[in-house]
Chain A
Amino acid sequence: MISRLPAKEPDAWNSDHGPIVFLRDTAAIVAVELVKLRRDPSEILTRSIQPALWLLVFGQVFGRLHAVPTGTMNYFTFLAPGILAQSVLFISIFYGISVIWERDLGILQKLLASPAPRSALVLGKALSAGIRALAQGVIVYLLTLFMHVPLNWSPFALAGVASSIILGAAMFSTFSLMVACLVKTRERFMGIGQVLTMPLFFASNAIYPVSIMPDWLQVVVRFNPLTYQVDMLRALMIQGGKSAFGIGTDLLVELAILFGLVLVTARLYPSIVR
């Protein structure tokens, strides 16, 4: 039978403050996404097609040209981390549509009327995108293994790559959530998503090195978060891979961007239901 409880109880439960509530609620949102992903993993397979095309078709053909100066590594090896970063970007940049969908379903309204901190709702979504993106990592590793790319298998490097994927996906998906909060409708969101992905991809070091770019682009590239994501992956994923900016710098840049985006998006989040 139902137990009668004093009305003050909900207050007492939430006496935990700050970081504990934040982490608990973030984990609750991530747990839901994990259940959904486990129940319907089909999207992981469909999403593997794009990186496969880039690596096996574009990578193979471009590699034959020997036109891109990639130092001691061959073009395919150079390209692999770039394509991993690109596929993480592509799945994360459209993640914001899920919040528009949840708004239309009424799920978001219920979450916003709950005591969960808005920042936990945002970071929970961001980390869920990160977990989905990990699957892209597995796919790219399998493809590169098949193509005899000299991968770095040290546990430190693997953990670094996994963290970098989660961090990059969290960063781009939070950006996507922010855009969704601003544009509010699916149609406008899809339009903006399309406009954003290509410039981010081409104005980065994903498929060619910064050194061959015209001067103006070399400046633009440094303001592109994808550049730091690729730089970190290239250093960690490939045997003897080197970072142009330093892994510490890459990590700090991405963490700072994620932190800023979570703060801004948490403030904007309630506006999507208005």
Chain B
Amino acid sequence: MHPDGSNAIVTEHLTREFGTRTAVDSLNLKIASGTMFGLLGPNGAGKSTTIRMLCTMLPPTRGDAIVAGHSILLDAAGVRRSIGYVSQMLSADGALTGAENLMLFARIYGIPRSIRKKRIEEALEFMGLAEFGSKIVSSYSGGMIRRLEIAQSMLHHPPVLFLDEPTVGLDPVARHLVQEKLKELRATFGTTILLTTHDMQEADELCDLIAIMQSGRIAVVGLPEELKRLAGAESMDDVFIHFAGKILEKPTTFHDIQTTRQRARRME
């Protein structure tokens, strides 16, 4: 595969197996630069595994992907320089202040010393955290921590940003603010954003393009309106049930449920 200028993310038969289970099954996706792309699907559909492969945290069993012009197989370091990643967990360090959390990543991303401080101030201001930079993160609310994590991931102005369930466990006000900030981020920097979510309304409002995953495969990709038409549905919830409905009845693992609930509790 060759880097494709107009596509920020291209996957080619991207596959990941865990033992006998195929978590992601020959995924072929093309995501144009500047797109807000929503990856939807029930628990265990392969959304997080896909993101972890695209972020080079997990090698694929087969296939490849080009992220921001770099192959995840041949140039993992190039991929890592060009992306930002927000984990589905609450990953800011509670023992540090907001600014200290950002400083660690400013250093690691090689932001020159001369502009580090300015970048950190800008990122805090952009995410509405300007007054809280010197406060310890353990005193932040769930929404503030999430915005800090997004600030952390965009410090180096990456062309591609991955967010794994960025609004899970947030109250409606905090969720709305995070969504607004993501829109602003895309508008300001032209960032390609790939996010996963369980919230169909969020996907409808936020994303240009939506893919619904089911058992490691893409069941359907399209504009929100297209998907509604295809499913003959009024709402995105109905679209989700139409394309992923059968899977919802499949039992998920106790561990998955425990993890999801713990995460939601920590965000409150």
Contact = CB atoms under 8 A, between A and B. Distances in A.
Interface of A: 2-5, 7, 9-11, 13-14, 16, 21, 24-25, 27-29, 31-32, 35-36, 39-40, 104-107, 109-116, 270, 273-274
A178 B91 CA distance: 22
Interface in B52-68: 52, 55-58
A16 B110 contact: yes
30 contacts: A5-B189, A7-B157, A10-B109, A10-B158, A10-B159, A11-B78, A11-B82, A13-B109, A14-B110, A21-B110, A25-B107, A29-B104, A32-B93, A32-B104, A35-B96, A40-B95, A105-B90, A105-B91, A106-B88, A106-B89, A107-B93, A109-B89, A110-B86, A110-B87, A112-B55, A113-B56, A113-B80, A113-B83, A115-B110, A273-B58
A109 B77 contact: no
B199 interface: no
Contacts of B152: 110
B107 A13 contact: no
B100 A35 contact: yes
A114 B189 contact: no
B37 interface: no
Interface string B137-163: 000000000000100110011110010
Given A24-B107, A115-B81, A7 B159 contact: yes
Contacts of B111: 13
Given A14-B81, A24-B107, A28-B107, A109 B91 contact: yes
A274 B82 CA distance: 22
B108 interface: yes
A105 B58 CA distance: 18
A13 B156 contact: yes
Tell which of A9, A14, A115 has the most Cβ of chain B within 10 Å. Answer: A115
A5 B82 contact: no
A109 B95 CA distance: 18
Interface residues of B, number: 44
Given A32-B104, A109-B52, 10 more contacts: A4-B188, A24-B110, A28-B108, A32-B96, A105-B89, A110-B152, A110-B153, A114-B105, A273-B52, A274-B58
- Among B89, B103, B104, which residue has the most Cβ atoms of chain A within 10 A? B104
Nearest to B110: A13
B107 A10 contact: no
A188 to B, nearest CB: 16
A114 B81 CA distance: 7
A163 to B, nearest CB: 25
Contact of B57 (A4, A35, A273): A273
A270 B57 contact: yes
B159 to A, nearest CB: 4
A223 B56 CA distance: 37
B90 to A, nearest CB: 7
A2 B87 contact: no
A198 to B, nearest CB: 31
B189 A28 contact: no
A221 B88 CA distance: 47
Given A11-B81, A114-B109, A5 B157 contact: yes
